[in-house]
Amino acid sequence: MKVTTMTKIYLVGAGPGDPDLLTVKALRLIQTAETLVYDRLVSREILDLVPDGVSRIYVGKAPGRHTLSQKEISALLVSLAEKGQRVVRLKGGDPFIFGRGGEEALMLARHNIPFEVVPGITAAQACAAYAGIPLTHRGMAQGVRFITGHRKENATLAIDAATLADPEQTLVIYMGLANLPLIVRDLLDAGRAADTPAAIVEHGTTARQRSIVTTVAQLQKAVEQNNIESPAMLIIGAVVALSQELDWFMPVAQEMELRYG
C-alpha cells in the first residue's frame, strides 16, 4: 500500500468533558476531519463542535457492552486510512493514559500508516482540579499515582503495598466503581488508614459533576447512598481534605438552585 499524508490518523485526546479544556490543536483537527471515530466518554458538548457533514463512527465501550472490540477498532482505523480519509480518533482524556491509544498506535505503525498523537488533559488532573483537590501539596502529598481499577477476576490492584499504604502518596483510581469493594479491601489490607480522606468525582468538569468527600472505609456506602454512576474518579489521600476550602467549581444545576431556589 502506498501511504500518503492524507492517510495520517490523528489520535486525539478530548479531555475530561468540558469543551473549554480541549487543546487548540484538538479543536482544529476535530473541525477539519473527514471522519471522526469517537469513544463513549467524549462529551456531547464536544461532539457539538464537530461540523455538519463529518462522518461519525461511534466505538464506545461501557462495562459489559462493547460496540466493537479493541482489535476491531484498531482494524477499523487501518481500513479508514487505506481509503485515504482524514481521520480523527477522538478519545476521552488522554490517549496514552488508560486510553488504549498505545495499542491503536502500534497497529497503525505495523501497517506503515502515519499517525500523530495529540495529548489531552487526563481525567485525573481535571476531576481533581474541578473538585478543589491538589494532587500534590507541600507537607501533605509528595507524589501521585494513577491506577486502573480494572482487574481480572479477584486480582489485587496492580501496585505495591508500600505505595498503597504511603500517606504521602495521592492515589487516583480510574474505572474503579465496579471493583470498589475489592479496592477498599486492598487499601486497608495494605495499611492505608481507614479514615484517610477519599473523594468520588462523578461526571467531572461537566454540568453534571458531583463531588462526594468521605473516607476510605466509607467509600462503598457513599457510592450507594448517592447513586454514583460511571464515569467517576476515585481520589485517595490527605489532600482530599483541602477540597473543603478549595472546591471552586459550581455545576450549572447547583448554580441555578442557589440563584433561584
Q: Is-contact 103 89, C-beta < 8 A?
A: no
Q: Active site residue: 8, 25, 61, 247, which one?
A: 61
The residue with cell 459489559 is 64
Strand partners, 9: 87, 115
Dist. CA 117–CA 96, nearest whole Å? 9
> Considering 39, 94, 166, 186, which one is annotated as catalytic?
39
**Residues contacting 164, CB < 8 A, separation 6+:** 157, 171, 186, 187, 190, 191, 192
Concerning whether 52 is annotated as a catalytic residue, the answer is no
CA pair distance 147, 98, nearest whole angstrom: 9
Amino acid identity for residue 2 in this structure: K
Residue 159, Cβ neighbours under 10 Å: how many? Answer: 17
**61 an active-site residue?**
yes
The closest of 218, 181, 182 to 198, measured between CA atoms, is: 218
Q: Which grid cell is 173?
A: 483510581
Active centre residues (catalytic): 39, 61
